[in-house]
Every structure is written in C-alpha cells, then in structure tokens.
Amino acid sequence: MPTVARRVLPTVVAVLLLFALTLPPAGAVPSPTAAAGTLQFYGGEVRAIAQLGNAIYVGGSFTAVGNGAPSVNRANLVAVDATTGQLVTGFDPHPDNAVNALLVSADGSHLYAGGVFNNVRGCSQCDRLAMLDPATGAAVTTFQPRPNAAVLKLAQAGSSLFVGGTFATVGLRRRVRLAAVNATTGAVGGMALHADGAVRDLAVNPAGTTLYLAGAFTHLGGAVRFNFASIDIASRTLTAWNPNVHASGWGVALSPNGATAYLTTADGNESICNAGHESVIAMPATGSGTPAVLWHNGGAPGCAYNSGDVNAVEATASAVYVGGHLTNLCTVRNTSYTTACPGALTVRNHVAALDPATGVPLAWNPGATGTRGVLAIQALAAGLGVGGDFQRTNGVLHSGFALFPGTA
C-alpha cells in the first residue's frame, strides 16, 4: 500500500499543477481608492471615457465641472490631465448636447465623439458624430457622416469606423442603428445589416476580424439574433455565433486573447427568471450556434435574488469590471443563468471586479452611489476610469468620475 501511495501522489500533484496552469493568472487590479482631487462633474452623467497621451477625455450629459462645486461652465465633453486630475483648458469642443461615445483613432491622431449633439465648436455639419483635434477639440469639418439620431457606441477596425445607436440614416443613406463609415473621410460604407432595436455597444476582437454587438434588437440583417451578435468584418456578413440571450443587451467586452465574450444585460424580452436578466454572462466568442455558458453572475427582481442592471463592462487579463446599479453577486461559480446562485451572495454597490475564469467577485470593492450608478468603465494607461451619475466612491466625493490608479 505505501508503494501505491508513492506512485499515486506524484500523479495527482501533476494533474493539479496542469489544471492550475490552464487558469488565467491572478494579475493585478488597480487601487480601490480613487485618486484624490480629480475633476468633478455636475448636472448630468458621465457616459464615455478615453485616454490619449496624458489627456483623459470624459463625455456625457453634464453641464459644468469643478472641484466641490460646478465652477466651470464646460458641458458634455472635457479633457482631464491624467497626472493632476484637473481640467485641460486648451481642449474645448463645447458640443451643444450629450456625448455618449468616445474613441481614439487607431493612429492616435484624432478623437471621435458620438452622441445627440447638433453642433461641435461651430460645426453644424458635425452633428451626432464628429472627428476632433485631440489638443484643441476643433472638429474636422470635412468629416460629416451625419447620423440622423443618437450615436451610442463606436469601434474601429482598419479603415472602418463602426457606429451603433438609434439612427435610421447615415449620410442620407439607410443604415438602421448600425453603420460603417470610412475612418478618415466619414464616407458611408456598403454594410447594410439593419437592427430592429438600439445597438448600445460594440467591440472588435484583437485580430480585427470580428465585430461584436450588444443592444435591444431581436433581428439583425433579417436574421433572428436576440440582443447579441457578431459580424465578420471582411465580408460584412453576420456570423453563426448566436448567444440567444433574451435579455436586453447593454455591454459586450472580449478577453485580451479574444477567446471569451462577456455580455451584460438589463431587463429581458420575457418576464421570466431564466432569460439572463440583469447579468454578466461569459461565453466562448467563436463557433456556431449558441455557445455554452462559461459562467454567469447576476439576477433579476422577482427571481432568486436581485442584482440590478449591468450597464458597462471592461475586460482585462486581471478582471472583468462591471458597472450599473447592481447590488447582489454570487460568490460561487455558476455555469447557468437559468438556475439560482449555488452559494452565498455578496454586496457590490454599482461596481465590481470579477475573476475572468469563474465570474466570482474579487476583493476589489470601492462601491459607488447614484441612481443609475456606473455607466462607463474604461481601462486606461492611468488606471481604471469609471463614470456615471454617482456622487461618491468609497464614501469619498467623486461626482460623476473616478480614476482608480494602477494596472487594470
């Protein structure tokens, strides 16, 4: 018997080591304490964040900024110095209405802004989608895609800028809630995959070959796709990947290697508890049909427990960051969104970091206040940027925007 034990033990150890090596490394997360003294936002929400060089661009529906009081009349889009946390005064696009989406161009030469504005720094032809000088905020007046309604999200692959929102035309051509335009000229491309509901989020895989969508649609390009879908960028055709999640899609993010898609939802298309409401769901990002659920966290009112809408998601090697007005999360891996949490619940107020391999909440827990809570999460060179309608994180005043320094 001792001889058998000696043979079995090394085998067991080897198997355990192999299993451990297949899991993502723990990785670092940023500080749960937001940087002190950063600019605060008043009179509305922060909805979009991007960074280029030492400037952090912040967009939303706010009417003023300041430190402790709305002392500077800068509305809807400003730049914050990543080192000092204060207003970059030279950047002044002053759009006349809300900015919902920001994206730094692939070559770093421009900043794209999308929203419901009609005018950017005097350019009335730059309505709802504009290309800006990142130093001054001046609009490139030759870039005029002109969607006829709200832009909610932007993504770029090569020379194509993909646009999601609630519009029906772009450049006077029929492009219903989804379009591709030339990233330099703004000319409308040939992709005509119309969505029958809002397209709220977009993500491009690291290889630049596939575009992922989240929204409130049930059909895309004439095919049935509930709330999430992907498009082959080269052919501009719908892929066979079909998560079939019957809950309104708010966010989609991809793991750094592009293998996993993280989907976030709000209320569902059906008033039932197994439709994936108010959740974050991890699935393989490729393949045909409906992928297996790798893990799920969240819930809905009237079901086993109440999480709350998950409006924003960002994925890094270290964590899947989610935000919204979520509260209760499961502390045990759950591989089905049709069953209740198989373990204990823990509270995360409006913002959380989840283990990419299991979906279990990490110890990182700054918390946030607010009604809608956290609406934007972005991994930046300066740390993790978080925006929304909150007033405080970790009990400290950070109205609308917080920067958590460190590696996200």
* pLDDT tens across the length of the chain (408 residues): 333 333 333 433 343 333 333 334 446 899 999 999 999 999 999 999 999 999 999 999 999 999 999 999 999 999 999 999 999 999 999 999 999 999 999 999 999 999 999 999 999 999 999 999 999 999 999 999 999 999 999 999 999 999 999 999 999 999 999 999 999 999 999 999 999 999 999 999 999 999 999 999 999 999 999 999 999 999 999 999 999 999 999 999 999 999 999 999 987 666 566 678 899 999 999 999 999 999 999 876 556 556 789 999 999 999 999 999 999 999 999 998 888 888 999 999 999 999 999 999 999 999 999 999 999 999 999 999 999 999 999 999 999 999 999 999
Single-letter residue type at 258: G
Other C-beta atoms within 10 Å of 22: how many? 7
Question: To 5 degrees, how large is the angle CA 384–CA 200–CA 86?
Answer: 35
Which of 134, 243, 153, 137 is CA-nearest to residue 201?
153
Do 291 and 336 form a contact (C-beta atoms < 8 A)? no
Do 349 and 298 form a contact (C-beta atoms < 8 A)? no
What's the pTM value of the predicted model, to 2 decimals?
A: 0.92
Do 39 and 85 form a contact (C-beta atoms < 8 A)? yes
Give every CB contact of residue 45 below 8 A, 6+ residues apart in sequence. 60, 61, 62, 372, 375, 387, 388, 389, 400
Both structure tokens of 311: 């409006």
Other C-beta atoms within 10 Å of 80: how many? 26
The pLDDT of residue 6: 39
The pLDDT of residue 308: 85
Both structure tokens of 67: 């430190």
Q: Could you give phi then psi for residue 15, rounded to 5 degrees?
A: -65, -45
The pLDDT of residue 288: 96
